[in-house]
Each structure stands twice: as C-alpha cells, then as structure tokens.
Amino acid sequence: MSVSASAEATRLLPRWLLITVTTLLVAMVLIPVLYIVLASLNSDVGVASGEYWPSSFTLDSYTRIWTTADLSTGIVNSLIVCAFTAVASALLGTTTAYVLVRYSFFGRLTILRGLVGLQSIPGTLMLLPVFVLFSSAGNYLGLTVIGTRWGLFVAYLTFALPFSTWVMVTYLRGLPRELEEAARTEGASTVVILWKIIFPLSLPAIVVSGIFAFLLGWNDVLFASVLTRPETHTAAVALQIFGSQQEGGALPVYSQMMAAALICAAPVVLLYLAFQRYLVGGLTAGGVK
C-alpha cells in the first residue's frame, strides 16, 4: 500500500471540516496570547481604554516595569527556591522510585497509591498545617521559618517530591533489569548500581521530573502568598500583588503588567520549547500541570 493511500485511510475528517476546526481552535488560543504581546508593546493608556491593536508601538513597558514592580527580586527568589526544589525532588525521587519499582515489600502499593493520590489533595489543606508548624517553630524553637526562602522550599517539597517520585516510577518500570542483574553478579553494590547504571540511563527522565518540580514551584501562588514577606516574594506573588493594586488607582499600568506577565511566562515557555518531546509524555503520565 502506498504512503498516500495509507494516509487516506487514517483520515478522520473531511478537508473542509479539518480546516474550519483548526482555524477556530488556533484563533481561540492565539487571540488572547497575541493580546499579551500586543498589550505589552502598547502604552498604559492604550491598554486601559480597551485597544487590541496598539495605536503606537513602544518598548517602554519593558524598561519601566523593573522600577514599577519588584519583579527582579521575585524572579531571583523564584529561581533560587525552584532550583533547589527541582534538584532535591529529582534526586530523592529517583532513589525512592528505584526501590519502589524493583523491590516488593509490605506497604509498597499503599505508597504508590499515595503518590498518585497526593497530587489531587487540595493545596489549601496542606498549607494550613504547614503554616501552623512553621509559625510554631518561631514560637517554640525561636527559629524563623515563615518568610524565608528555605521555608518555602520545604513547603514546595510537599507537592514536588511525590510528583517527581511518580514520574520516575513510571519511567523506571519500563527500564530492563538485565544490566543491573549483570552488574550484581559482578558484585556491584546497590549504591554503585544506582550511581553507575540507573542515574545515567534515566537521565532524561530525571531532568523531566526536575523540570516538573521546578514548574510546580514557579506556578505556585497559594503557598508563596502566605509563606513569604516582601523581600522573599516569588515572581508569581509579585505579579499577583502588582495586579491587584491596579484597580481603584489613578491610572492602571496594564501595559507594564502584561510585560511583567510575559516575563514571568518566558522561563516556562522556554523550558517547554527545549524539552517539548519529553515533557508532553510526562504531562499525560502524571496528569498534573
């Protein structure tokens, strides 16, 4: 069967319908997305008066946003906290997942079920006790946790760690065990096997699980809005506060806000573009944004 004929067989929709649906969907996505770009190149007055296409283009918003809002501090904080979260959850997740996949022991399935279930637990339920624990560390131990970056890092592990572990479980169970068995008969210890075989073989998956952990932190508003103070605000909280200050003021600086939104989205979009092939698989495996 020729290629074109076999392509013809799998064709599901008539051509006119395919073109119509694709156009509609692409327009639905791109109209708001283009709006971000266009509004960020517009003037603040132009955006506030409801323009879609700017009457004049300017890069002003991108230079002024850094003094209007505390965006640079937010981005630096986000990068630090999320990078630590990513590395910690990817490494610990891989080790934990290896044992979960390769050995059977009492309570194993409960842990696996817990890893999946935890991803659907409301964040508000976790935030409250974390907040109480952190504040009591201040009262009882004299230790300041709330408002610090490492406190936020610990809080992010509640979601990032189970998720990274689950991503690694789905990957490692597809990995053939022959190599490890060969190494074991040669007398290699588990640590050596983990370090010399499992880590190099599953490097792409480890990177993906780290990226997901990074994104969980980067996209979070809930934990950061409670557990940070102005010096430790993350990018998300900086943008949220900046946005909520606009209404009721004299002139809302919406154009600068769109520039800020685009800057906050940029690292995420770049990560996806760079790792698109791997990340899409992870999206459907874990089912978590």
Partner 1 sequence: MTTLVRPPASSEAKKEQRRRGVTERQRPLWLLTPGGLLMVVVILIPLVLALWISLIDLDQYTLRRWVEAPFIGLDNFVESFSSGLLNSIWISVSFAVLSTIATVPIGIAAALVTQNKYRGRGLVRAVFLIPYVLPSFVVATVWRTMLQPDGVVNAWLSKVGIEGGLWLTGPRSYWALILVEIWAAWPFIYLMALAALQSVDHEVHEASAVDGAPWWPKLRRVILPYLRGPVLLACLLATLNHINNFTLPFVLFGAPAPEDVNVMPMIVYVTSFQSLRFGLSAAMAVLSLVLIAIPLFIYLRAVRLDVHEEGGRR
- ∠ CA 218-112-104, nearest 5°, is 135
Radius of gyration of the CA atoms of the chain, in A: 24
Query: Which amino acid appears at position 280 of this protein?
Result: V
Residues 6+ apart with CB under 8 A from 166: 97, 115, 116, 119, 286
* Contact positions with partner 1 (CB under 8 A) in 60-89: none
* Contact positions with partner 1 (CB under 8 A) in 94-123: 95-96, 98-105, 109, 112-113, 116-118, 120-123
8 Å CB contact between 242 and 257: yes
- ∠ CA 112-116-122, nearest 5°, is 140
Q: How many CA atoms lie within 13 A of 40 on its CB side?
A: 17
Place of tokens 């919406």: 254
Which of 3-11, 63-71, 141-149, 205-213 is the region at the interface with partner 1 (rule: CB under 8 A)? Answer: 3-11
3-class DSSP state of 289: coil
Instruction: State in angstroms the smallest separation of the CB of 139 from partner 1.
Output: 5
Residue among 2, 10, 200, 229 that touches partner 1 (CB under 8 A): 10
Nearer to partner 1, 80 or 241 (CB): 241
Please tell me whether residue 213 binds partner 1 under the rule CB under 8 A. Answer: no
* Contact positions with partner 1 (CB under 8 A) in 267-286: 268-269, 272, 276, 280, 283-284
Distance between CA 251 and CA 15 in Å, rounded? 49
Please tell me whether residue 136 binds partner 1 under the rule CB under 8 A. Answer: yes
Nearer to partner 1, 35 or 62 (CB): 35
Nearer to partner 1, 31 or 59 (CB): 31
Helices (H) and strands (E) in the chain, counts: 15, 0
8 Å CB contact between 44 and 56: no
Residue among 2, 56, 124, 176 that touches partner 1 (CB under 8 A): 124
Please tell me whether residue 179 binds partner 1 under the rule CB under 8 A. Answer: no
- Going by the DSSP 8-state scheme, the letter that residue 197 receives in this structure is I
* Contact positions with partner 1 (CB under 8 A) in 242-271: 243-244, 247, 252, 254, 257-258, 261-262, 264-265, 268-269
* Contact positions with partner 1 (CB under 8 A) in 143-162: 154-155, 157-158, 161-162
Maximum Cα–Cα distance for the chain, whole Å? 76
Residue among 72, 137, 190, 199 that touches partner 1 (CB under 8 A): 190
Please tell me whether residue 188 binds partner 1 under the rule CB under 8 A. Answer: no
Which of 68-76, 141-149, 205-213, 239-247 is the region at the interface with partner 1 (rule: CB under 8 A)? Answer: 239-247
Q: How many residues bind partner 1 (CB under 8 A)?
A: 107
Would you tell me the crossing angle of helices 254-286 and 149-172 to the nearest 10 degrees?
40
Which of 17-25, 56-64, 65-73, 200-208 is the region at the interface with partner 1 (rule: CB under 8 A)? Answer: 17-25
